[in-house]
Structure 1
């Protein structure tokens, strides 16, 4: 029984969510460390619109470097890394806020565990300075957005963050809104398309006016890879490359699809389409784990939250125990990512974090 000194139930719930978020952040650092790569983004953040001829394609990702520049967070590359990681943490916070309103506490913890144990968390920490953490945040905001106005703004911002990846995530959102029978799906989809188009036009215009000429954009960079090289990125790494896509969470994907059949007639198909789009796009890239995780992770989390809303879940699906098994196996299993056909572990990222902690007074 609550006493007069007890916080209200809503306050206790928010305190619990904050505690879970803090635990998730600490666990992510523990499992994945802090990568040292992507320092070129920090250099761009010092002068995001500095003129350049034949600039690399990553000059097109202006959102996170522009915000860091405006906020004065470019003095140290480590502060820049933490700022970028805030995108991932805010994505977790948004996921918690949505799930807390829809799910019981046990299911809330389960969803958060999946988010921490998914390759998206590893990529956000191992590929620091890259726009991926902000892609994660924008994708989760978009998938759970309710209003056309929010969809428009997010469509615009995502285009300034990582245009090719964002186009696919926008397609994912539209597919999921319609197949999951979301309310006001049509006006949201239209607003999202308009926002994305405006974002793409304005970022190209901003680069042009600033005198930044890209040698080739990300689309051209992907298209110039010879087919044998692309195939080699998958075959050289061997079967473990399949594990890097979703870690052990692949074991509960069939159960999730089975549960979604009760939610909406086309929901399971919608999720499959998003995963197929991610896999198709990943084939044309050299950083297979990173691209797939960023594209396939948010739709998977969206579908999991929606499935766990069902009361009751189909008994034959065994979704909850399989999700828990996937999380536990992932946490104890080796963690690595595939890049250019080679598998890379996280020891450099963990060693970097240990060195930073050891240097603190």
Structure 2
């Protein structure tokens, strides 16, 4: 068995796998309205930077469908009509740069097609972004797998697999490719509080693919690195800055510090669409999630009333704690500003 697709598009209808209830139930929610897609992104029905970008592109296609029978003279008319949907989608998860990358591709399609058949163009663009992501993930997986020595245990955090992307995965794409090559002896998956993506999603994905996985509480990371000696920490990213700093699920920075002490290497697997060459790590916006995610568990309060709560969804790992960033165009070893910008420039020319 392999894990099901997080995103389905058929007959101009969007269906998203509800990741909030996995692995206990496999349910898809159908969407025909872009504001509902924005809410699905915000409420974690769909999550993971590449998957968020794909869902946003489909959301813009749904928005255009609402105006299919209304006359639009030019691109300016379309921009005005689609602006509420675009604004809602852009506001749904501010840290995930793939969201804005996908919306900007939609903007260019609006400029290009204007008064012509924009509905078809946006539907085709969303399908293209979806298909491209699967191919990109497979290339990332193969590049990353080339760094994994034989008989390895690796450690991963959150979920950067097929459920977080168009399919195959970034960090889990590397693990899938390395397992295919016979180099993975086992995977340690951190539980990833407070949404437990590692427990609910990553462990389920890996088990579905027959890849040996051990689920671990987050507080055991240092102990397991000392005792198990993984060869790599492998994570995805929601934004990679120009200086090589990488934003990922909260707790990644902790792991990188622990890994440095224990001599364990850190790999960030991310497509070039996740890079933001306009800012450095300290300028990456960090989404603050609702306090109820920590104060409550399964609807029951577990913290005192009125306690102050910090619930950042992401943290930023400095580039000097990262040994390799792997993209669909290759590997950036010991990343810094010069190497990141050179990689992006070379990728743009391919």
TM-score by length of 2: 0.28
More helix, by proportion: 1
Compute the TM-score of the two structures, normalised by the length of structure 1.
Answer: 0.27
